[in-house]
Amino acid sequence: MAQIELKQVAKKFGDVYAVQPMDLTIQDGEFVALLGPSGCGKTTTLRMISGLEAVSSGQILIDGQDVTWNHPSARDIAFVFQFFALYPHMTVRQNIAFTLEAQKVPKAQVEKRVFDVARLLQIEHLLRLRPKALSGGDRQRVTLARALVRHPKAFLMDEPLGALDADFRATMRAEIKRLHLAQHATTVYVTHDQIEAMAMSDRIVIMSNARVQQIGTPAQVYYDPANLFVARFIGSPGMNLVKGRYTNGMVQLPGANQLPLPERWQAAIANQLSSEDVVLGFRPEAAKISADGVLNTQVYASALHGAYAMLHLALDGEKGETMTHVRAAKNTIYPIGTPLRFDLDPQMVRFFDPKTELALTLA
Amino acid sequence: MAVVTNPQVDKGSIEKGVNYSTRVDKVGGRVQTVRTIRITAAVMLAFLLLIPVFWMGATAFKVRADAIATPPKIVFKPTLEGLIFLFTDRSVLNQARSKRLKARINELNWYERIALEGGQQITGPSEYVTRLRNSVIIAGSSTILAVALGLLAAYAFSRFKVKGESDLLFFILSTRMLPPVVVTIPIFIMYTKFGLHDTHIGLILLYTVFNLSLTVWLLKGFMDEIPREYEDAAMVDGYTRMQAFRKVVLPQAITGIAATTVFSLIFAWNEYAFALMLTSEKARTAPPTIPTIMGRGGMEWGTIAAGSLGFLIPVVIVTFALRQYLLRGVTFGAIRQ
């Protein structure tokens, strides 16, 4: 396995950037997800690493070796496509062996390696079939087998679970994760599904509008989003973001609410904020409903999510223009219109500058 | 409690089996009536269309008297006269010579005897075989060339950013817009100057160029249908683009290749006007030859029919060999494979 390095890699289609210059180092054996909405440039980035797309500028290094202009076949990487791309005119065995034939591996060894990987993925009984005869999950296993059989330097996966049924996706997610750990395989994984990215990755690269928004561990991007986009994009629902004004140690919020600023944020806000405008951010689970809470709201709607209930609370009372999502115990009923007070866990409060959209940081 | 079986279920499964679809839209009464009507119509149409072929086949084995009989004879005594006349040059015998020849009938072999019954003496082999061979060589080579070049061009148009792609494609198509006959004279003059007149290579070139517009356009349609991901996969699997093209794209384009091959072959095989103008002896193909049979010893309908039948066979063989790909191919990829 290998380390992959992107140095100021960019892709332009005409005058438009599909990928703004980006730097990224993927460590040996690391699982990195490229996450973002469609059209954000994540697949283009993956295709540039594979060599299927030429870079417009920048350098790509695999194990310290510059492969920027190497043909895809010379990079020793495996690619798993969203729609499988299993060769329809070959049997499963031929599909898996195809890449070994390109490397001129001796026949006896091909047989053994195909069989070994088939056993690993439990598809031995399918080797004689054509891809057409397989179910979606089995096709996915065969594509994985095709990638695994060659012991490549890295795996590149482009939404490999996107074409599968929802419940089967969870199973395959676990299987891919286990394979990754067992093979110690450097993996770059493109997805638009944040749950997938959170569940599987060591690190997540969040992209939007051709730009990298944040690179971090799942916990980092969840608790400390770098900007408003990441705050909204990660989590379902995303982080609550409430516009307010900062004056005299207090954050003025809609509905005449006032939040005393946690002490450790005072300096940060004073130094980093460009005006009085500020955006308060907190996760639904950061709110604690209590009779003497500082924030005063009204229940706008409530939805039972099974293990907990999600309350939609209007900070500005009946108008319902400033909505926040708050987690509550599943067994309490909050009728619509009920006035409600809640507190925020000071550890889980974040602030953003609405002008730059960036998160404020503690020194 | 006694086990009760539903007799209705039993009866149903025994009498009908359950191997076919029981969807309402497949077994409803109206559907079956429509299907019956459709099949009947198809059979009748096929019968109607095959009458000329049957007529030609029958005439090929008729003696001249039978061939021109009114009302036409459906039942007749078959003869090989047409075939023998087709493959030979003959002279027509007058009564005296015919009598003399009949006297030494024992010295003649079987085909000479049949010719004698038709009142003719065989003087040597005809040019039919050479001409048919020319047709096979010219139509075959030009088809292979046109399809091979068309495949590469279609692949390039389908996969790469080609500058002025739509203009180029239109230009290629525009070569079809002029009726070919219009350019016969200029091409004739060009060919005489270049020494291409009456050569195999001359006609092969011409038919290839004419067929290229067809093959490029048809094959581009088929190529567009094949997802790029297959080549991408093959390339990361360690193959060059050309290898990926050969090992992954070509096998999937086989229906399109088969359909295109048949279309180009039929054009090159049937072409008459250029073959007549641009060849005289050496490279003359079958189409301009068959009408000239008419000139010898009156209307030899049996011979003409036999010649046409022989002309039909190679195309039928190729089409038959490719038939399993054609049904899917001629729908032009309307059906997802």
Q: What residue in A sits closest to B252 (Cα-Cα)?
A: A89
B248 lies within 8 A of chain A by CB: yes
**Which CATH code fits A4-232?**
3.40.50.300
**Which CATH code fits A240-352?**
2.40.50.140
Strand, helix or coil for residue A314: strand
Is the pLDDT assigned to residue B336 strictly greater than 70? no
Partners of B252 on chain A (C-beta within 8 Å) are 88-89
Angle A78-A79-A81 (CA atoms, 0-180°, nearest 5)?
155
Distance from CA of B306 to the nearest CA of A (A): 42
Note whether B233 contacts A79, CB cutoff 8 Å. yes
Neighbour tally for B49: CB within 10 Å: 9
Interface test with B, best of A71, A94, A150, A155 (most B CBs within 10 A): A71
Q: Which helix (H) or strand (E) holds A189?
A: strand A187-191
Between CA A207 and CA A36 the distance in angstroms is 5
Distance from CA of B89 to the nearest CA of A (A): 52
Partners of B229 on chain A (C-beta within 8 Å) are 81, 83, 85
Residues of A near B (CB-CB distance < 8 A)? 50-52, 71-73, 75, 77-79, 81, 83, 85, 87-89, 98-99, 102-103, 146, 150, 156
Is the pLDDT assigned to residue B231 strictly greater than 60? yes
Angle A37-A41-A45 (CA atoms, 0-180°, nearest 5)?
130
Note whether B233 contacts A51, CB cutoff 8 Å. no
B246 lies within 8 A of chain A by CB: no
Full pLDDT tens readout for chain A, 363 residues: 689 999 999 999 989 999 999 999 999 999 999 999 998 999 999 999 999 999 999 999 999 999 999 999 999 999 998 888 899 999 999 999 999 999 999 999 999 999 999 998 889 999 999 998 898 888 988 999 999 998 899 999 999 888 788 888 888 888 889 889 988 889 999 999 998 999 999 999 999 999 999 999 999 999 999 999 999 999 988 999 999 998 888 888 888 888 888 888 888 888 888 888 999 999 999 999 988 888 989 888 888 888 899 999 988 876 667 889 999 888 888 888 888 899 999 889 999 999 999 999 886
Strand, helix or coil for residue A123: coil
Confidence bin at B10 (pLDDT 50/70/90) = very low
Domain ranges of chain B: 129-329
Partners of A81 on chain B (C-beta within 8 Å) are 229, 232-233
In the β-sheet with A31-35, what is the strand arrangement from edge to edge? Answer: A77-80, A154-158, A187-191, A31-35, A203-208, A211-216
What is the topology classification, in CATH, of domain B129-329?
A: MetI-like fold (1.10.3720)
Residues of chain A with CATH 2.40.50.140: 240-352
Between CA A97 and CA A84 the distance in angstroms is 16
Picking from A284, A280, A265, the residue whose alpha carbon sits closest to that of residue A354 is A280
pTM confidence score: 0.78
Note whether A89 contacts B252, CB cutoff 8 Å. yes
Between CA B29 and CA B27 the distance in angstroms is 6
Distance from CA of B171 to the nearest CA of A (A): 26
B250 lies within 8 A of chain A by CB: no
Q: What residue in A sits closest to B248 (Cα-Cα)?
A: A87
Identity at B260, one-letter amino acid code = T
Partners of B245 on chain A (C-beta within 8 Å) are none
Place of tokens 């065969």: A142
Partners of B249 on chain A (C-beta within 8 Å) are none
Strand, helix or coil for residue A256: coil
B254-292 pLDDT, tens per residue?
A: 989 999 999 999 999 999 989 999 998 899 999 988 888
- The DSSP secondary-structure symbol of B116 reads H
B229 lies within 8 A of chain A by CB: yes
Neighbour tally for B3: CB within 10 Å: 4
Interface test with B, best of A98, A143, A151 (most B CBs within 10 A): A98
Q: Strands A154-158, A77-80: parallel, antiparallel or unpaired by DSSP?
A: parallel
Note whether A52 contacts B232, CB cutoff 8 Å. yes
- CB nearest A72 (choices: B227, B235, B251): B235
Polymer length in residues for chain A: 363
Interface test with A, best of B236, B239, B252 (most A CBs within 10 A): B236
What is the CB-side half-sphere exposure of residue A37 using CA atoms within 13 A? 7
Partners of B234 on chain A (C-beta within 8 Å) are 87, 98
Torsion of CA A60, A63, A69, A73, to 10 degrees: -120
